[in-house]
Structure 1
Amino acid sequence: MFDIVSPEAIRDGRATDAYFERTRDALEGAGRDPHVVCEVTADQFPDGSFETFAGVKDAAHLFEGRDVTVHALGAGQLFDGGPVMRIEGSYLAFAELETSLLGFLSSASGWATGARRVVSAAGDDVSVLSFGARHVHPSTAAALERAALVGGVDGFSHVAAGEVLGREPSGTMPHALVICFGRGEQEAAWRAFDDHSPEDVPRIALTDTYSDEVDEALRAAAAVEDLHSVRLDTTGSRRGDFRHIVREVRWALDDAGHEDVGVFVSGGIGADDVRELRDDVEGFGVGSAISNAEPVDFALDIVERDGESAAKRGKLSGAKQVYRSGEDHVVRPADEPGPTDGRPLLRPLVEDGEIVRDFSVDEAAKRCASDAERVGFGDEE
């Protein structure tokens, strides 16, 4: 019914580019199957532009049961040049998996990097929710939301992704709810949401459907007892000075005795908006800045063949290790010592087809936050 490639096709290696099938035919016909070391990289050398590694769980399961050994960065690790993954085994044990592997890693790492950029801009005291699932194919929503969590968001809105990830989805209300009640009936819409939502759902009223944001915010605060927040989702074409609008709403709520009612902002919000608005805002709903983040342009290349260095032009031959040394990302040959204060980042992921690592989203998010602080990712200029 839907244009979705099945998990079975991915695991079996049929979700691949045709030339890998031709390669298998050629190698098998010629009686060749060298033992290789392959590396996944985005950039050969560090350039000071860090990105966040994600997609590790899916990658591990892709190799599960195959006669290969895989080392990789941890989910949430920031990287800047050099390999993020190293795969060792006979080439035909995993040749067709390259297309799916890069797809798993490229999109997820882009989403996690976008999320980390927004979360770093928000700071420690402001929540960020991922609202971007509507911008991706629904079959990838759980992968998107896992990557966003790795990047540090506090939650997400997608129901089915929550079922996959074991997380309760978050969300407020759409303009459609208010419009279904009609102009002048905003209070009825807000009260209906309050009356019929589970007790553990924060009461957040959308307050920019028909009237001025200040007007609807004050009406919502008066209409709903124990209102948690008001949400401003004003489209860019009507915003004007959005920071001024947000500050005016905050001032009006305080002046009317609603100091406990927060302000939540969504609608085309990016890291720069978050940085500008965060002092007056309790939380952000962020969509396209995460879901539309540019995928990381990973490539997979053979760097050793039958124990000898081998690589195409423009690629660095030989197996490598990467290290975190202070705030630096350091790339060295795997058979040479690393920096004296360096911590090796490529760690076992799959050994002889067996997954040897767990995939805690919370641990990955902690790793991401700690590493981002260490390397200064997202620091204001």
Structure 2
Amino acid sequence: MNTADLGLPVDVPSTALFTDHYELTMLQAALKAGTADRRSVFECFTRRLPEGRRYGVVAGTGRVLDAVENFRFDADVLGFLRERNVVNEETLEWLAAYRFSGDVWGYPEGEVYFPGSPIMRVEGSFAECVLLETVILSILNHDSAIAAAASRMASAAGDRPLIEMGARRTHELAAVAASRAAYVGGFATTSDLAAGFRYDIPTVGTSAHAFTLLHDNERDAFQAQVDSLGRNTTLLVDTYDVTEAVRTAVEVAGPELGAVRIDSGDLLLVAHRVRQQLDELGAVNTKIIVTSDLDEYAIASLAAAPVDAYGVGTQLVTGSGHPTCSMVYKLVARAESADPKAPLVPVAKKSSGGKTSIGGRKWAARRLDADGIAEAEIVGTGPVPAELAERQLLVELVKGGEVVAREPLDVVRDRHAAARANLPLSATQLSRGEAVIPTEYVQLRSGS
């Protein structure tokens, strides 16, 4: 896997420095104490959903697998760590041979999750697992936040397609990841060519206001675009006067004009006026695309408008007000000693302020009602009840350090659509509320 496929600059040799300084100092101390080789279980989860969200969306799993596979300490990385005196020579020697050899289980990408859901479980020695904390969290927190916003927008849009167009509103590498996450959440296309190149997401785009302003008049701009891209193109009609622009657009392209885009004003009112004008001019099949800082609430407010597609940028790539999912990566079990056969014992942080964790390696299942609709997220340790055996959520992603569960992005996207459809109808409500189904904890005792 080339590092460019991860959305990294081509001169970055690995993902090993996508980590925090203290991961390496913990490693050094554990190596010295003789505890680094203790078999350990880390789990990634969130204690609560962002305010007002009814469900979360697992996204970024495929990128996590690539990052784990490329987590290597090459000569340049080791030289940097040595120069900065981050860790001692013994630790650098250990890092030079680092290859993750453990197991990773997780919710399949595109699945929904709830508070307490063990979204990802990483097992191996303490040393090899603790190093992956930051890169796993950075990917899952970002991508899942974007996918959750995208999913809400897709629900609000119904059958109308959504275009991701937020590349200019975020970091250039984050934009690629955001486009991928948006596609998982239900967006149909992206304007970002890097995302199209790396993840085979369909790309779209025609022109901006600058193209119209370049020309002596709007007619010349429209004519140039139609001559180049054909009558099925999309013409931007709000640079000057919308009514005049629509008339000119149809005169230039004819009734075969593909679409017009509206990027400002009262979109509800303008869309109705433009639809009426297009129909009167005989362009009954010309579509209307609206942009202009949309979010899920604005999209929902346009449900009754004659709009055919939405373009979303800023609000999408910033998670529509929630740019992170507050996921954490916690040690939940560790062996009593470095002996490979030593039993696991549950461990957990106990503190005030809502940060208490539950120890033990966990399984998760989703209980359905008589109609096949989700009614509870069940999280437990120990044996899985027989009635939930076929409803378990975690799947094997990495076995013995080898990735075993890569999937095409379209499979992930379809999975999310199916998972969202199996939630109670209130999941799609945009009003503030709690998680759409409760999380129930059972059999919380040690499990080896």
TM-score (norm 1): 0.90
Partner residue, 1:22: 25
8 Å contact 1:323–1:338 — kept in the other structure?
A: no
DSSP 3-state at the match of 1:284: strand
Does residue 1:320 correspond to 2:353, yes or no? no
Q: Percent identity?
A: 27
Matches within 5 A, 1:1-381: 7-10=12-15, 13-33=16-36, 34-43=38-47, 49-64=54-69, 65-81=99-115, 82-124=117-159, 126-182=160-216, 185-197=217-229, 202-211=232-241, 213-225=242-254, 226-234=256-264, 239=265, 241-279=266-304, 280-293=306-319, 294-306=323-335, 307-313=344-350, 314-326=356-368, 327-338=374-385, 340=387, 343-375=391-423, 376=425, 377-379=427-429
Instruction: Return the alpha-carbon distance in structure 2 between the equivalents of residues 329 and 150 of structure 1.
Output: 23
Q: Distance in 1 between matches of 2:345 and 2:106?
A: 21
Question: Hey, what's the Cα distance between the residues in 1 that align with 2:208 and 2:17?
Answer: 40
Number of residue pairs the alignment of both structures matches: 366
Q: Which runs of 5+ in 1 are unaligned?
A: none
Distance in 2 between the 1:338 and 1:289 partners?
A: 42
Contact 1:44 1:316 survives alignment (8 Å): no
For 1:254-298, what per-residue CA distance to the aligned partner results, in whole angstroms no more than 9, with x for missing partners? 122221111100010111121221341010101122101122111
> Partner amino acid for 1:29?
K
Runs ≥4 residues deviating over 4 A: 3-7, 44-48
Q: Is the 8 A contact 1:63 1:350 kept in 2?
A: no
How many angstroms does 1:165 deviate by? Answer: 1.4
Structure 1 residue 5, shift from structure 2 partner: 9.9
| TM-aligned CA deviation for residue 339 of structure 1 | 7.3
Judged with a 3 Å threshold, the aligned counterparts in structure 2 of structure 1 residues 156 and 339 are, in CA distance, closer, same or farther, namely farther
Deviations 1:54-100 (A, max 9, x none): 01011112333511100011111110122100111101113222111
- CA spacing shift, 1:98–1:336, aligned 2, 3 Å: same
> Distance between the aligned counterparts of 1:332 and 1:136, measured in 2?
36
CA distance in 2, matches of 1:158, 1:289: 16
CA contact (8 A) 1:320 1:331 kept: no
Give deviations 1:352-375, integer Å, cap 9, x for gaps. Answer: 111111221111111111111211
Distance apart, 1:222 and its partner CA = 1.8
1:299 partner SS: strand
Alpha-carbon contact 1:265-1:283 (below 8 Å) kept: yes
Change (3 A) 1:6 1:14: farther
User: Separation in 1 of the partners of 2:418 and 2:178?
Assistant: 21
Equivalents in 1 of 2:402, 2:293: separation in Å? 42
Larger CA deviation: 165-174 vs 263-272: 165-174
Note the C-alpha offset of 1:218. 2.3
Return the alpha-carbon distance in structure 1 between the equivalents of residues 50 and 202 of structure 2.
38
Contact conserved, 1:76 with 1:367, CA < 8 A, in 2? yes
Given residue 30 of structure 1, which amino acid in structure 2 is its aligned partner? Answer: A
Q: What's the offset of the Cα at 1:321?
A: 1.5
What is the alpha-carbon root mean square deviation over aligned residues?
Answer: 2.2
Cα 1:57–1:202 shift into 2, 3 Å: farther
SS, match of residue 144 in structure 1? helix
Please say if residues 367 and 378 of structure 2, whose CA atoms lie closer than 8 Å, have aligned partners that are also in contact.
Answer: no
Instruction: Find the aligned partners of 1:247 and 1:75 in 2 and give their Cα distance.
Output: 39
* Aligned-residue offset at 1:301: 0.2
| Letter of the structure 2 residue corresponding to residue 290 of structure 1 | L
Contact 1:80–1:329 (Cα < 8 Å) also in 2: no
Distance in 2 (CA, whole Å) between partners of 1:67 and 1:204 is: 51
Query: Contact between 2:42 and 2:129, CA under 8 Å: does it hold in 1?
Result: no
